[in-house]
Amino acid sequence: MISRSRTLALAAVVLTLPGQVGEVAAQADSPLVTRSYGRVIVDVKVSRSHAGGVLAVGVRNGRWATANTLVDGRRGALTRVAGELFGIVALALDTAVGDHKLSIYFPGGRRRGGATTVNLPVTPLVRPSRARPLSPEGVTAIATQAALGHGRFLLAAIRTRDTKAHHTGPLRAPVDGPVAFPFGGHEDYGRVIGPMKDGLMGEQHRGVDYEVPIGAPVKAPGSGVVLLARSLVFSGETVVIGHGNGLVSVLSHLSYVSVREGEMVVTGTAVGTSGQTGLGALTPHVCFSVYLHSLNVDPEALMDASLWPAAAR
């Protein structure tokens, strides 16, 4: 936590806001917002700047190995990626449309550190809706102690604090084929569900769905360690992979899981086959969810290679 005295010291070197000295570029409709901080240049890519999306933050000419970020009270981090200070910053699914403040804190105290603050747009995004009626048996099942316990297993895996970077660069699609239903789309269960237990079930879809036939190979979207590999009440046969630096992938509704908890995988490793398992699977499909520092974000944003430094793609 940043102390009050440290906060005041950092505030003394906060970057000027748009329209004042220190601004390099601030085109509201540009996919890139750039600010100067002395000889240091901060670039923020905002092409995925919507609720549940991400900001891609890069720092040029900086001497720091790490930095911390803050958006709407939620923390993130920048680290060295392909020789550059870089980080993907999550925007929560409930982030309001409009201007938001991104603060970046560089370590080193008054002489070698400092802080920048940048105003960035969060843009609206129209998402589709679909009906997802649960059977009376399903409604009863999600309220059982077994379902609650399974939700805790999944939540613990999602919140794993693994700072070692097993994977850098964009994630890859876990199956071949287009996205059939996007992240954040409205789900009508015929009753109020709300965000339940594990964050994978609620009125807004918590991942992207790929409609593929049962038995299609499912691959690791990035390198990492298998944090969870078991059958759960709602998400069925489920694999959770920790990629490091707070990034976690969840693959749900598989028919078969071929990896074990604690196993290391690389991008493209077969982790199982697609299926129709768990209460949330009304059709054969694979649901791919992503969490960044425990915040549920759009997997398609994390698969967008244009956000990453060229050397990390």
Specify the pTM. Answer: 0.87
Query: For residue 30, what pLDDT is reported?
Result: 62
153 and 264 housed in the same domain = yes
Strand 23-25, strand 32-37: pairing: antiparallel
Q: Is 153 exposed, middle or buried (0-12, 13-18, 19+ CB in 10 A)?
A: middle
In a domain, 204, yes or no: yes
How far apart are the C-alpha atoms of 53 and 74, rounded to whole Å?
14
Alpha-carbon distance 251 to 174, whole Å? 8
Query: What pLDDT is attached to residue 25?
Result: 40
pLDDT at residue 193 tops 70 = no
The stretch 244-260 carries a mean pLDDT of: 95
Q: Do 251 and 176 fall within a single domain?
A: yes
pLDDT value for 265: 97
Beta strands in 167-285 (DSSP E): 186-188, 208-210, 217-219, 224-232, 236-244, 247-257, 264-265, 270-274
Residue type, 236: G
Q: Are 301 and 93 in contact (CB under 8 A)?
A: no
Q: What is the pLDDT of residues 83-118, one digit of tens each?
A: 889 999 999 998 999 999 999 999 987 778 889 899
Q: Kindly tell me if the per-residue pLDDT of 231 is higher than 60.
A: yes
Identify whether residues 72 and 204 lie together within a single domain.
Answer: no
Q: How confident is the model at residue 201 (pLDDT cuts 50, 70, 90)?
A: low
Task: Evaluate if residue 23 carries a pLDDT over 80.
Answer: no
Same domain, 77 and 160: no
Q: Look up the domain containing 135 and give its range.
A: 129-302
Beta bridge pairs of residue 270: 219
Whether residues 173 and 43 fall in one domain: no
Same domain, 150 and 269: yes
Question: What are 295-304's pLDDT values in tens digits?
Answer: 999 999 999 9
Residue 159: inside a domain = yes
**Nearest 5°: CA angle at 99, between 10 and 84?**
55
Please, are residues 99 and 85 in contact by the beta-carbon 8 Å criterion? no
Same domain (yes/no): 178, 116? no
User: Beta strand pairing status for 186-188 and 129-131?
Assistant: parallel
